[in-house]
Amino acid sequence: MTSRPNIVLILADNLGWGEPGCYGGGELRGAPTPRIDALAAEGLQFLNFNVESDCVPTRSALMTGRHPIRTGAVQSVPAGLPQGLIPWERTLGEIVSGQGYATALFGKWHLGDKPGRFPNDRGFDEWYGIPRTTNESTFTSTPGYDSSVVPLPQVMEGRRGEPSRDVAVYDLEMRRRIDGDLVDRSIDFMRRQKAAGRPFFLYVPLTQLHYPTIPHRDFEGRTGAGDFADSLAEMDHRVGQLRDEVAALGIDEETLFLFGSDNGPEYRRPWRGTAGFWRGTYHTAMEGSLRVPFIACWPGRIPPGRRTNEIVHIVDLFTTLARVAGGEVPKDRPIDGVDQLDFMLGRQEKSAREGFVYYIKTELRAAKWRDWKMHFVWETEPNEGANHLETPYLFNLIKDPKEETDVNSFEGWVRGPIRRMVLEFQETLKTHPPIPPGAPDDYVPRTTG
């Protein structure tokens, strides 16, 4: 890259593939999404953008370009041990900041909740949001909640070189307000960087549509279709606010604007989401868990009105955005993300990847390659009981998007390249053993090569 474009990355929480209008939802979900739909029309809409199993692993993959089996940043960490990423990991914030970018995170972090692991310790100049997850907002309204045993959940803020601090209790009313606050702070940040003439990386991990899926009071009753639809309408509005500010600042053509989701749809009722065409929710290896909405818009650089079913994975954002900012990815560790910038810009027809492996926590669940997916463990709904398969199931996702018909008997040739991809990945785990979940700050991975 010859210039240093701005980067705005909005990451929704548990937004299923089938929720926005441009993915078949919108009105069908009780809430038109005109701003997200317009963004898709102005840029590149991904139909096969893939993530990890749930919140922590996906955010880890984004920030490190490494599958979470490597980083130890899995959802469940033993009680009393530190959560998130060890300091040895290099984050996207650190790489972009190293190129002179102003960096900010406004939203849900979920990659560390102690000094040394907050966003302002990991490459972000400033942050405001929640260190963990949105369901903690229910704690204070739960009968029997004891703050002497489980501390009050907090909204926090921090700046580089200073301690992060608590600023508000994260209760249900704050849960309603917080995405509005995140956008207000994001707009202020962009205005300040524009005035200073400094390129910026703005990461906005929203809290909607994670449970409890309840809207800002300004959107309560807006759709007439209940809290979930009102929350979807609010999310669409927040995306529009940020897009409008980029335009108002006159930096459209200088800004790569990205919108996506961290996971497949919420599975808890009454907030159950939908993956639309696909089957399943997050916390599984079903296609509805892996595929999420993702849109890239960059006027003058990304041709408008494109849609693609090429496979892209969230680890690729690490490598791609490092290149956009002029940075280099670490050479001393396996990086799973591949550079997709030329593909995004329309310079090449095909994605730079053909497939990927899929772990939940430390267990290999599936592998996806071209139009096929192989399941090694079968679980269609979270917590319904995982069936470890003696003979893996093989599905052709073009012919069978609901993953209902095993094609081992007549498309079995596909097992060869999938097995090779899996074995090659597992060999790298032998050379670079995974970081154990809950590893302390001073943990330094070893290599065996």
- Please identify every residue annotated as catalytic: 55, 110
Asked if residue 14 lies in contact with residue 266, where contact means CB atoms within 8 angstroms, the answer is yes
State which amino acid sits at residue 149.
Answer: V
Strand pairing class (200-205; 255-261) = unpaired
Helix (H) or strand (E) holding 107: strand 102-108
> What is the Cα–Cα distance from 210 to 58, expressed in whole angstroms?
14
Alpha-carbon distance values, 311 to 9, 44, 205, 295, 369 (Å): 20, 13, 23, 14, 8
3-state secondary structure 311-365: CEECHHHHHHHHHHCCCCCCCCCCCCCCCCHHHHCCCCCCCCCCEEEEEECCEEE
Contact indicator for 45, 351 with CB cutoff of 8 Å: no
CA distance 139 to 144: 9
DSSP state, residue 280: -
